[in-house]
Structure 1
Amino acid sequence: MADAVPADAEAILAVKDACWREAYAHLLPPEFLAHGLGGDPQRTERWRQLLAHDAAGRFALVRRRGRVVGFAGAGPARAEDDPPRVDDLRELYTAYVLTEMYGTGAARAVVDRVLGRGPAILWVFEDNPRARAFYAKLGFAPDGAGKLDEIGGRRLSEIRLARQMPPEKV
C-alpha cells in the first residue's frame, strides 16, 4: 500500500478501465466499455494534475508484484452532492480493485487508508450488488439520496451510501 503520485496516473487509469469492464458489463454497452474509456491523453494529464495537488493521504494504491492492482481516493464531502451535515464528513470519490484481488482484503485496506474510520459517504450504481455488499461490510447503508447519471448513452441510477461514526471500543 502506498500513496499515489503523478507518475501512477497511467497505471491507475488502466486499473479503472479494467474494473469498469469487469464490474459494469451488465450496465454499459460493450462498445462503450471497449472504446469509450481510455485513449484520451488529456485524461491521463488530468489525473497527473489531480495526483500532484494535495494527493498525499487522499489517493492510495495497492501493488502486487510491482503492478498496480487497485486504488482509492477520498476527501471532504463535495457540497454539490448535498451531503448530510456531519462534522468531518469524508467522501469516497473512487475505489477499484481488479477481480484477481477480490477476497484478499486489498479493497478494504485501500479504502480504510484514504477514508479513515469516521463518518463518510459514497455514491454507487444502484444495480451493483457486489460493490453494495462490500460497502455494507464497511458499515455503509443507503441514506435515501439518489441521482441519475448518463454514461455510455445509458441513464444509470446511483444511490448514496453513508456510514456513521463507529462506536468507541471499551
Structure 2
Amino acid sequence: MTAWRLAPLTAERVPALAACHIASWREAYDSLVPAHVLAGFDLDRSILTWERRRAGGAHRIPVALAGAELIGFAAASAHELDALYVRRAWHGTGVADALIDAAAPDSPCTLWVFADYPRAHAFYRRHGFADTGVYRVDPFTLLPEQLWRRATR
C-alpha cells in the first residue's frame, strides 16, 4: 500500500475532498443508509459546501493523501468534530487516528454518530469519547444519532 501523509485542505483539493466525502459515505453506510439517500449526493453542491467551510476559517480540515489521491479527511470546529471520513481501502491503517488527532487535538470535544454503527463507536471509544445519552434524528438520513463527548485527556 502507498505511503500516506497529512496535509492542510487547500482550494485546489476541495473537489477531491468532496468526492472522497461522497465515496466514503457510500462505502461506510451502504448497509445503513437507504440507497436513494446515498444516490442523492450532488458533487457540485458538496464542493461549494466544503469550500465555504475551508474559506470560512472556523474549521481545522486536515486531509490524508496517498500520493496525489485524497483518501480521507476530518473537519472540526473549536469543540466539535463535524466530519471524519476515510476511504474503505484505508480503514485500519492509522489514517483516521492521525486525522482525528490533527483536527480535534484538544479536549473536550463532541460529535454526532449514527446510533447503529458499532465500528464507529469502537473507534471513538478508543479516542476517549463516550455516549452522552442525548439522541436526535439526522435530518439528512432520518436515522437516529447519538451525541458523544470526549472529556479532558
TM-score, with normalisation over the residues of structure 1? 0.81
Match of 2:146 in 1: 159
Match of 1:8 in 2: 13
Alignment partners' CA distance in 1, 2:52 and 2:33: 28
Within 5 A, what are the aligned runs for 1:16-165?
16-33=21-38, 35-39=39-43, 41-54=44-57, 58-76=60-78, 90-152=79-141, 155-165=142-152
1:146 Cα deviation (Å)? 0.9
Sequence identity, in percent? 34
Q: How many residues align?
A: 148
Alignment partners' CA distance in 2, 1:22 and 1:43: 17
The gaps in structure 1 that reach 5 residues or longer are 77-89
Amino acid at match of 1:38: D
What RMSD in Å do the two structures reach over aligned CA positions? Answer: 1.6
The gaps in structure 2 that reach 5 residues or longer are 1-5
Q: Deviations over 1:33-77 (max 9, x none)?
A: 2x30124x243123212212216x71110001210000000012x
Amino acid at match of 2:71: V
SS in 2 for 1:150: coil
> Over alpha carbons, which structure has the higher Rg?
1
